[in-house]
């Protein structure tokens, strides 16, 4: 977040399962990829991406390995009881303190064990400030009421204050009263405000019971995705249906987020992936991030054989390179960038029917000296289940009438890359 010198234009705070990630209807993650390229092209530079999930941190990391997910600026896990920042996920220690205030896991375990209706979730879903169960939907209301009464009674003589959240028609979480996705967001907004970085707009996105609180935070826009759970839609019907800042999207999952960006006019919502002619899509302003996102999107389409095998495309790419531009391959080999693009010409359609996808993450541009730009990003490439990632730096110079000229590209294998195979990596 430190990179932002002024208030972020938009902060998206989104749930993951069945909001960002469609577990039922999009095996190729196309909606997620559409969102990702829009975010990187149009928002990454001046906006904040926050994930707020019921998952624990290890389970979030697992999802990240399974899906083409972007790196958020802030990750709120375990139903709003843990907050971490940046790529390296630095824990918010002040939040840990708040979560430990008036909390006693032992008492929660003791009292909940008296309810045969509650089945403990797996160990990997339990956390210091989150005790999670499964429960039959028909029993949820009654058990929640009785459990509150019991724990409140215990709370008088001890120091316990809790909240109970029912989600997804089957999960019941017991958390510290000051925890939950809503409280975590309120805390984050306060922190940003104190730093002079209160977002101009905030959009919260969710599908189930543990997201309800997000929609209660003052002044935020909200989208309940089309496939939202009954418990969230019921809450909305009873408490928020007159709030014009909340919509129930007609699109599923992350498609609903794109819909909400458009509906509330929070910025552009046409994904670069929905543009058929990438070469036509020139920006009016100098936007090196746009240039890079478009290049790698073209690269994906070229290798998938989805664009015509036409020399003019390769010629046009070469024309935007400086004649002496250098490409440092992750193997360390230095090549001419123009020769590399010539080589790419030979690979038209080689990944057809191979479930090949390319996406860019954390695309950030800085102007180093007047007219010279450095863009840093992670470039991911997946074929079937095999994925690789290179940390990539591109240097551009911006020339009157010529637009951005590619001067230098350098790649090194990212720590996150499971494979580091030099031999079949083009760029
Ligand atoms: C996620 C968590 C689970 C929790 C549920 C509802 O699925 O893994 O532990 O109960 O969200 O908040
Ligand atoms: Mg969800």
DSSP assignment of 134-193: E--HHHHHHHHHHHHHHHHHHHHHS---EEEEEETTTEEEEEETT-SHHHHHHHHHHHHH
d(CA 362, CA 169): 35
Ligand 1 pocket test: which of 51, 55, 108 has the largest number of ligand atoms within 8 Å of its C-beta?
A: 55
Ligand nearest to the CA of 133: 1
What torsion do the CA atoms of 379, 312, 355, 364 make, to the nearest 10 degrees? 20
Q: Could you tell me the distance, in angstroms and rounded to a whole number, from the CA of residue 238 to the centre of ligand 2?
A: 20
Ligand 1 pocket test: which of 171, 208, 228 has the largest number of ligand atoms within 8 Å of its C-beta?
A: 171
Predicted local confidence at residue 14, as pLDDT: 99
Q: Could you tell me the distance, in angstroms and rounded to a whole number, from the CA of residue 367 to the centre of ligand 1?
A: 42
> How many of the other CB atoms lie within 10 Å of CB of 58?
11
Sheet holding 221-224, edge to edge: 90-91, 82-85, 74-77, 48-52, 10-14, 201-206, 221-224, 246-248
Ligand 1 pocket test: which of 76, 120, 164, 168 has the largest number of ligand atoms within 8 Å of its C-beta?
A: 168
Nearest alpha carbon, ligand 1 atom 5: 54
Q: Could you tell me the distance, in angstroms and rounded to a whole number, from the CA of residue 210 to the centre of ligand 2?
A: 8
56 CA closest ligand 1 atom index:
8
Per-residue model confidence as pLDDT tens for the chain (427 residues): 778 989 999 999 999 999 999 999 999 999 999 999 999 999 999 999 999 999 999 999 999 999 999 999 999 999 999 999 999 999 999 999 999 999 999 999 999 999 999 999 999 999 999 999 999 999 999 999 999 999 988 877 778 999 999 999 999 999 999 999 999 999 999 999 999 999 999 999 999 999 999 999 999 999 999 999 999 999 999 999 999 999 999 999 999 999 999 999 999 999 999 998 877 766 667 899 999 999 999 999 999 999 999 999 999 999 999 999 999 999 999 999 999 999 999 999 999 999 999 999 999 999 999 899 999 999 999 999 999 999 999 999 998 877 899 999 999 999 999 888 898 999 9
Predicted local confidence at residue 282, as pLDDT: 65
Q: Are 79 and 175 in contact (CB under 8 A)?
A: yes
Nearest alpha carbon, ligand 1 atom 4: 54
Burial 351-371 (b: 16+ CB within 10 A, else e): beeeebbbbbbbbebeeeeee
List C-alpha distances in Å: 201 to 7, 12, 198: 10, 9, 9
Q: Give residues (CB < 6 A) around ligand 1.
A: 54-55, 59, 79, 121, 125, 132, 167-168, 171, 173, 210
Predicted local confidence at residue 284, as pLDDT: 65
Ligand 1 pocket test: which of 17, 144, 173 has the largest number of ligand atoms within 8 Å of its C-beta?
A: 173
Ligand nearest to the CA of 229: 2
Q: Could you tell me the distance, in angstroms and rounded to a whole number, from the CA of residue 388 to the centre of ligand 1?
A: 29
Nearest alpha carbon, ligand 1 atom 8: 55
Q: Could you tell me the distance, in angstroms and rounded to a whole number, from the CA of residue 207 to the centre of ligand 1?
A: 13
Q: Could you tell me the distance, in angstroms and rounded to a whole number, from the CA of residue 78 to the centre of ligand 1?
A: 7
Q: Could you tell me the distance, in angstroms and rounded to a whole number, from the CA of residue 53 to the centre of ligand 2?
A: 7
- What's the whole-model pTM score? 0.97
Q: Could you tell me the distance, in angstroms and rounded to a whole number, from the CA of residue 54 to the centre of ligand 2?
A: 8
Predicted local confidence at residue 2, as pLDDT: 79
> How many of the other CB atoms lie within 10 Å of CB of 265?
10
121 CA closest ligand 1 atom index:
9
């Amino acid at each position: 977040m430190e990179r932002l010198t002024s208030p972020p234009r938009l902060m998206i705070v989104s749930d993951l399962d069945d909001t960002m990630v469609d577990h039922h209807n999009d095996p190729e993650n196309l909606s997620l990829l559409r969102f990702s390229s829009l975010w990187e092209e149009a928002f990454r530079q001046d906006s904040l991406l926050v994930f707020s999930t019921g998952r624990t941190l290890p389970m979030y990391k697992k999802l990240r390995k399974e899906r083409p997910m972007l790196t958020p600026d802030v990750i709120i896990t375990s139903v709003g009881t843990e907050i971490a920042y940046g790529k390296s996920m630095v824990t918010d220690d002040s939040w840990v303190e708040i979560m430990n205030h008036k909390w006693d896991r032992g008492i929660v375990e003791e009292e909940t064990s008296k309810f045969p209706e509650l089945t403990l979730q797996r160990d990997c879903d339990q956390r210091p400030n989150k005790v999670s169960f499964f429960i039959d939907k028909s029993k949820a209301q009654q058990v929640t009421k009785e459990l509150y009464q019991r724990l409140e009674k215990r709370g008088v003589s001890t120091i316990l204050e809790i909240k109970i959240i029912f989600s997804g028609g089957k999960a019941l979480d017991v958390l510290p009263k000051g925890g939950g996705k809503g409280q975590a967001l309120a805390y984050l907004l306060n922190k940003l405000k104190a730093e002079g970085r209160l977002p101009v707009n905030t959009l919260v996105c969710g599908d189930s019971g543990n997201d309800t609180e997000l929609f209660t935070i003052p002044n935020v826009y909200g989208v309940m995705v089309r496939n939202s759970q009954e418990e969230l839609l019921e809450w909305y019907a009873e408490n928020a249906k007159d709030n014009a800042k909340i919509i129930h999207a007609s699109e599923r999952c992350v498609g609903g987020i794109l819909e909400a960006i458009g509906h509330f006019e929070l910025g552009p919502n046409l994904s670069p992936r929905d543009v058929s002619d990438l070469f036509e899509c020139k920006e009016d302003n100098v936007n090196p991030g746009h240039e890079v996102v478009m290049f790698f999107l073209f690269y994906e389409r070229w290798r998938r054989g989805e664009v015509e095998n036409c020399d003019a495309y390769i010629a046009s790419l070469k024309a935007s390179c400086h004649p002496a531009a250098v490409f440092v391959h992750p193997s360390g080999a230095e090549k001419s960038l123009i020769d590399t693009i010539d080589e790419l010409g030979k690979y038209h359609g080689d990944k057809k029917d191979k479930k090949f996808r390319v996406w860019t993450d954390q695309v950030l541009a800085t102007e180093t000296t007047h007219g010279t730009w450095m863009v840093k990003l992670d470039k991911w490439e997946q074929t079937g289940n095999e994925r690789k990632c290179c940390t990539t730096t591109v240097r551009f110079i911006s020339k009157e009438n010529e637009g951005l000229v590619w001067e230098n590209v350098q790649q090194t294998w990212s720590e996150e890359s499971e494979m580091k195979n030099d031999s079949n990596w083009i760029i």
